[in-house]
Amino acid sequence: MMILSDQLRYPIGSFEPNTSASSDSRQQLIRQISGISAALRLLVRNLTFEQLQVPYRQGGWCIQQIIHHMADNDMNAYLRLKRALTEEQPKASSYREDLFAELNDYSDASIELSIALLEALHNRLVIVLKSLSEDQFQRTLQTGLLGIITIDIAVQRFEWHNRHHMAQIQSLIERMGW
């Protein structure tokens, strides 16, 4: 049985925003964000250097690149969120993630550096998120991909993005029998 490319690329499906998020659902997201780095560290703990170099799908990034990308993405997302809290509907900057993945830190840096960076970023983000009022979750920012979104949606996308990449890694580990 052949696995379709979209199933490999989006093992948890596409991002679907919850436009009527509740306080309880936000608290659940915050708890999930606080556990991402530990879950990622556990997921890849037994992988060898060679296994980290295997792409999760044909034409896709290797596990090491995915982990470094997660850290780069979350640094950008964290700053976008803080700008949305301190500016009126800021335009979120984007970056060439494909070209970032070609830089030597993606090949030469230990994945532990990016996992530790994720841990620190997520700890800071959780502190900010726990302090937000209902009104602050409704502040907006402009993105190239999703258009004008609320902080509520941005946080959902943040959490989804991490689960998405962890599912890509998990899927590869299972397919390879590691």
Three-state DSSP string of the chain: CCCCHHHHHCCCCCCCCCCCCCHHHHHHHHHHHHCHHHHHHHHHCCCCHHHHCCECCCCCCEHHHHHHHHHHHHHHHHHHHHHHHHCCCCECCCCCHHHHCCCHHHHHCCHHHHHHHHHHHHHHHHHHHHCCCHHHHCCEEEECCCEEEEHHHHHHHHHHHHHHHHHHHHHHHHHHCC
Residue 152 falls inside a structural domain? yes
Domain that holds residue 91: 24-176
What CATH number does residue 148 fall under?
A: 1.20.120.450
Residue 13 falls inside a structural domain? no
Tens of pLDDT along 109-121? 999 999 999 999 9
- pTM passes above 0.85: yes
Residue 5 falls inside a structural domain? no
What's the total number of domains in the chain? 1
What does the pLDDT read at residue 23?
95
Residue 125 falls inside a structural domain? yes
Tens of pLDDT along 25-64? 999 999 999 999 999 999 999 999 999 999 999 999 999 9
What does the pLDDT read at residue 4?
59
